[in-house]
Amino acid sequence: MLARHQQATESATRAVRALLDVLLPPRCAICGGEVDCQGLLCADCFRQTGFISEPFCARCGVPFGSAALGGVERLCPTCRAELPVFGRARAALRYDAQGRRLVLPLKHADRTELTAVLVPQMARAGAELLGEADVIVPVPLHRWRLFHRRYNQAALLAKALGRIAKRQCVVDALRRIRATASLGEKSATERAAEVAQAFDVRPSRERMIQQRKVLLIDDVMTSGATANACAGALLAAGATSVDVLVAARVPDPRLN
């Protein structure tokens, strides 16, 4: 009797799922083509996406066209000239034309379901960093930007990664203590100057950061100026180390 009831429930569940698939067939997050399962890319879009794997800079994670570009130290020219404040940075994919199609709608079009595509790839690229981290912290948005955008995309990614890796996520550990101009068209030096002293750790969150290995999360890394400024604030508050994991990384054209 019970078995028959269970069977009936299961076939009803299957029927509902089949009906939902007809009404809302799972779609590729980039091109909208049909896929097998929600949160996947179609085969064509997957092939065109520049997922980052070795070789890359051992420190900042910028991808290399060939391993020889890093030399014996496996460092990019930027890190060789001046080591970043953070320990290691890793990124899931290149922020090229295809990468922008995955990340920009998350930023500007409320396409929060894109986290289902980005987060597993971030967990892959940052497996070592996630494994070593004690606590996960997102880069904060400025208050007026949060108001316009209604959510912080870095916090969405950080929370999802915290769930996967079973790590505490302190969403509001960092705060912007002064507004920064948009970094869009600025050079690396201008970016660094613009974001220096722009962040601090909220006094009420200091205890959650002190003597802990922090993994900082952002959607896009360009020059690394924002990551450096946040890492500086976290280290000043007593963090043992700060690594960085981002969804997408702007490639260095010298290293392709």
Q: What residues contact 27, with CB distance under 8 A and at least 6 apart?
A: 33, 34, 35
Q: Per DSSP, which regions of 83-131 are E strands?
A: 89-94
* CA 70 centroid distance within chain: 24
Q: What residues contact 157, with CB distance under 8 A and at least 6 apart?
A: 115, 118, 119, 122, 138, 217, 218, 219, 247
Burial class (CB in 10 A: 0-12, 13-18, 19+), 9: exposed
Using CB under 5 A, count the residues that bind Zn ion: 11
Tracing tokens 């290293």 back to the chain, one arrives at 255
Options 52, 59, 138, 242; binder of Zn ion; rule CB under 5 A: 59
Options 27, 28, 96, 241; binder of Zn ion; rule CB under 5 A: 28
Q: For Zn ion, which stretch binds (CB under 5 A), given 72-80, 148-156, 191-199, 228-236?
A: 72-80
170 vs 214: CA distance, rounded Å: 10
Interface with Zn ion includes 30 (CB under 5 A)?
A: yes
> Closest distance between Zn ion and the C-beta of residue 134, in Å?
24
> Closest distance between Zn ion and the C-beta of residue 115, in Å?
17
User: Which of 155/227 has CB closer to Zn ion?
Assistant: 227
Interface with Zn ion includes 71 (CB under 5 A)?
A: no
Q: Which of residues 225-254 bind Zn ion (CB under 5 A)?
A: none
Interface with Zn ion includes 76 (CB under 5 A)?
A: yes
Q: For Zn ion, which stretch binds (CB under 5 A), given 57-65, 93-101, 123-131, 238-246?
A: 57-65
Interface with Zn ion includes 122 (CB under 5 A)?
A: no
Phi and psi angles of residue 244, each rounded to the nearest 5 degrees, phi first? -130, 135
Q: Which of residues 79-118 bind Zn ion (CB under 5 A)?
A: 79
Chain residues that interact with Zn ion, rule: CB under 5 A: 28, 30-31, 33, 42, 45, 57, 59-60, 76, 79
